[in-house]
């Protein structure tokens, strides 16, 4: 049967590339449709174009000669079309009798092709052959195949889109925003006056967020322009103006005035700022490596699970409790929305206890979500509390929850500022109404004094080793064994300096003044 090369797997997986002719076709597509298009929309049209081009070529080839079939007879001098040879055209120059016991009498023809090569073929063949066609009177069979672009996109669309995007990124006149492509030279004009008006509109709405279409209604852009092009052109202009931030999750475009965003979103909170500490990770025992994975600090650069769950529970550390944030660690980060262009994403956090909605800001570059200070304060959650993040049907809405119980009095470690810029710990009773990790839990009554210690100990004059030397005796004297669990030490260090477990654990192993007393417990030697 006739088969288009563009309907074969080999064509799309081995032969397909984006040619200059394809780019010209895409540019003409933008000119004709005058709207931005997604990668999938462009790829779909490109597949349809490739199919139609092959159909047209084959039509022209077949018009030059008869399609070769072994069952037919032909004359010397006749032109034939050979579908199995990429529809090459050949001319019959000789013929002779053929004889084969399996096929009986038949004719052998010699055909010369345009490239000068000659080949022989059997004709007048009475036995069945795969190259025989049931009917070639109608060429519509090829046309019908040529329309099956949906199947090809389903099977090979990902590879086609990858090559397409790679090529479009190299084209100077092509612009991309929020999943759509267009030509820069065809964008609608957006003047500086329009941008000033957009700023004023956002100010009136307390900074945002606002959809592009809402802003357009207020800034008097020409109504004769296609609405999709109008929105894309304004998006492009706003994106390249530092006054504006695109903060929508994937699939949504929302604009916010950058100067009105919370300072904790545009600048990393003091307690979350980490200056990387070099350490030898090979010093860590299997037990310490397992403990690091259990803590799952977002700064540990751990791999995410292959199938991330829809609900994740983690222990809240001091920096995130103080800053009103939650970590985008290896398990949590997949729950939160993404956007290719947006460094900050505005979403909705839902209090799992009350159903109350809160504004949350995803700051992926620095691996945290801001907007939970009131949630932590309202429920009196301590450092070490077990916090749960749950996915919902809407990617822009995440439930934040914890296992609550009737408040009961518990003995916990309380951070108390001491002399000589040192942090001390004392056991005190506190009312706790949530599940927590008893190795990480701690409290602090005088947060301003603790902040002052944070500022002092983050200066270069006090290193991580010195901090550990100060903290181990303070923590050890609160336990009968006079030793400190490595996780507890991690929690305490982070009251004074942001640090993932790796450097802390490595320091315990590397320096002889820290004595390992079995399991994950240490003391000062």
- Residue 206 inside a domain? The answer is yes
pLDDT average, residue stretch 377-405 = 94
- Residue 458 inside a domain? The answer is yes
Check residue 339 and give its pLDDT.
60
Domain boundary among 369, 388, 404: 404
Q: Which of 118-132, 133-147, 315-329, 461-475 has the highest mean pLDDT?
A: 315-329
Whichever domain contains 205, its CATH number is 1.10.10.10
Check residue 139 and give its pLDDT.
46
Residue 272: pLDDT over 80: yes
Q: Report how far apart, in Å, the C-alpha atoms of 470 and of each of 273, 400, 428, 489 are.
A: 22, 35, 20, 11
The more confident residue out of 52 and 25 is: 25
CA dihedral 52, 58, 59, 60 (to 10 degrees): 120
Both 160 and 46 in one domain: the answer is yes
pTM for this prediction: 0.75
Check residue 2 and give its pLDDT.
57
Both 489 and 341 in one domain: the answer is no
Both 374 and 240 in one domain: the answer is no
pLDDT average, residue stretch 395-418 = 90
Adjacent-strand bridge partners of 389: 312, 400
Check residue 451 and give its pLDDT.
79
Residue 478: pLDDT over 70: yes
Check residue 137 and give its pLDDT.
44
- Residue 299 inside a domain? The answer is no
Q: What is the CA radius of gyration of the chain?
A: 35
pLDDT average, residue stretch 360-387 = 94
Residue 43, classed as helix, strand or coil, is: helix
Residue 5: pLDDT over 90: no
Report the domain count for the chain: 5
Residue 204: pLDDT over 80: yes
Check residue 135 and give its pLDDT.
47
Both 50 and 74 in one domain: the answer is no
Check residue 140 and give its pLDDT.
47
Given a contact cutoff of 8 angstroms between Cβ atoms, the answer to whether 291 and 315 are in contact is no
pLDDT average, residue stretch 408-427 = 84
The more confident residue out of 268 and 525 is: 268
Both 248 and 237 in one domain: the answer is yes
Check residue 78 and give its pLDDT.
92
pLDDT average, residue stretch 59-73 = 82
Tell me what percent of the residues of the chain surpass a pLDDT of 70: 94
Both 509 and 451 in one domain: the answer is yes
Residue 464: pLDDT over 70: yes
Question: Taking Cα atoms as reference points, which of 391, 396, 393 lies closest to residue 359?
Answer: 396
Whichever domain contains 310, its CATH number is 2.40.330.10
pLDDT average, residue stretch 391-407 = 92
Given a contact cutoff of 8 angstroms between Cβ atoms, the answer to whether 201 and 210 are in contact is yes
Check residue 147 and give its pLDDT.
55
pLDDT average, residue stretch 363-388 = 94
- Residue 300 inside a domain? The answer is no
In the block, residue with structure tokens 């100060």: 470
Mean pLDDT of all residues in the chain? 88
Residue 138 — very low, low, confident or very high, per pLDDT cuts 50/70/90? very low
Both 463 and 483 in one domain: the answer is yes
Tell me what percent of the residues of the chain surpass a pLDDT of 90: 59
pLDDT average, residue stretch 22-29 = 95
Whichever domain contains 126, its CATH number is 2.30.30
Both 357 and 412 in one domain: the answer is no
Check residue 143 and give its pLDDT.
47
Both 326 and 455 in one domain: the answer is no
Check residue 105 and give its pLDDT.
85
The more confident residue out of 445 and 234 is: 234
Given a contact cutoff of 8 angstroms between Cβ atoms, the answer to whether 151 and 160 are in contact is no
pLDDT average, residue stretch 341-370 = 92
Residue 460: pLDDT over 60: no
Strand arrangement, sheet containing 484-485: 484-485, 521-524, 514-516
Residue 516, classed as helix, strand or coil, is: strand
Q: Is 179 left (phi over 0), alpha (psi -120 to 50) or beta?
A: left
Check residue 187 and give its pLDDT.
92
Tens digits of residue pLDDT in 185-203 = 999 999 999 999 999 999 9
- Residue 295 inside a domain? The answer is no
Tens digits of residue pLDDT in 334-355 = 998 876 667 899 999 999 999 9
- Residue 274 inside a domain? The answer is no
Check residue 133 and give its pLDDT.
66
Domain boundary among 404, 425, 443: 404
Both 18 and 83 in one domain: the answer is no
Check residue 65 and give its pLDDT.
82
- Residue 207 inside a domain? The answer is yes
- Residue 283 inside a domain? The answer is no
- Which domain, by its residues, includes 483? 406-524
Domain boundary among 348, 378, 404: 404
Both 230 and 328 in one domain: the answer is no
Q: Which two tokens stand for residue 249?
A: 């999750």
Both 192 and 253 in one domain: the answer is yes
Residue 510: pLDDT over 80: yes
Q: How far apart are CA 319 and CA 494, in angstroms?
A: 7
């Amino acid at each position: 049967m006739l088969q288009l090369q563009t309907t074969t797997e080999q064509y799309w997986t081995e032969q397909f590339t984006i040619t200059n002719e394809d780019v010209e076709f895409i540019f003409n597509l933008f000119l004709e449709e005058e709207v931005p298009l997604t990668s999938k929309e462009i790829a779909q049209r490109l597949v349809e174009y490739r199919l139609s081009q092959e159909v047209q070529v084959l039509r022209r080839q077949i018009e030059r000669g008869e399609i070769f079939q072994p069952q037919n007879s032909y004359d010397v001098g006749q032109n034939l079309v050979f579908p199995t040879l990429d529809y090459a055209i050949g001319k019959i120059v000789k013929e002779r009798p053929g004889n084969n016991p399996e096929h009986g009498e038949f004719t052998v023809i010699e055909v010369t092709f345009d490239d000068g090569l000659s080949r022989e073929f059997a004709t007048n063949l009475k036995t069945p052959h795969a190259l025989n066609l049931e009917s070639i009177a109608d060429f519509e069979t090829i046309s019908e195949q040529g329309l099956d672009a949906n199947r090809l996109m389903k099977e090979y669309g990902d590879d086609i889109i990858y090559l397409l995007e790679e090529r479009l990124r190299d084209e100077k006149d092509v612009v991309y925003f929020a999943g759509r492509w267009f030509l820069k030279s065809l964008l609608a004009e957006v003047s500086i006056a329009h941008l000033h008006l957009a700023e004023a509109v956002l100010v009136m709405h307390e900074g945002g967020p606002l959809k592009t279409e809402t802003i357009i209604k207020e800034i008097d852009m020409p109504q004769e322009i296609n609405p999709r092009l109008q929105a894309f052109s304004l998006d492009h202009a706003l994106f390249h103006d530092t006054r504006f931030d695109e903060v929508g999750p994937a699939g949504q475009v929302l604009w916010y005035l950058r100067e009105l965003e919370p300072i904790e979103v545009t600048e990393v909170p003091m307690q979350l700022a980490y200056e990387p500490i070099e350490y030898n990770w090979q010093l860590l025992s299997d037990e310490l490596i397992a403990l690091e994975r259990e803590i799952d600090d977002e700064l540990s650069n751990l791999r995410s699970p292959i199938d991330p769950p829809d609900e994740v529970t983690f222990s809240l550390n001091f920096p995130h409790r103080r800053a009103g944030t939650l970590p985008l660690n290896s398990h949590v980060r997949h729950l939160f929305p993404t956007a290719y262009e947006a460094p900050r994403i505005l979403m909705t956090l839902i209090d799992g206890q009350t159903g109350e909605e809160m504004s949350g800001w995803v700051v992926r570059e620095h691996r945290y979500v801001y907007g939970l200070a009131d949630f932590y304060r309202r429920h009196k959650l301590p450092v070490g509390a077990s916090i749960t993040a749950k996915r919902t049907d809407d990617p822009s809405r995440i439930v934040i929850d914890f296992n609550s119980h009737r408040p009961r009095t518990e003995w916990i470690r309380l951070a108390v500022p001491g002399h000589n810029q040192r942090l001390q710990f004392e056991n005190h009773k506190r009312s706790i109404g949530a599940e927590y990790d008893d190795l990480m839990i701690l409290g602090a009554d005088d947060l301003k004094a603790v902040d002052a210690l944070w500022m002092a100990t983050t200066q270069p004059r006090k290193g991580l080793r010195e901090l550990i030397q100060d903290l181990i005796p303070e923590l050890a004297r609160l336990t009968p064994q006079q030793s400190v669990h490595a996780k507890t030490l991690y929690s305490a260090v982070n009251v004074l300096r942001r640090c993932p477990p790796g450097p802390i654990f490595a320091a315990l192993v590397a320096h002889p003044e820290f004595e390992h007393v079995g399991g994950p417990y240490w003391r000062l030697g």
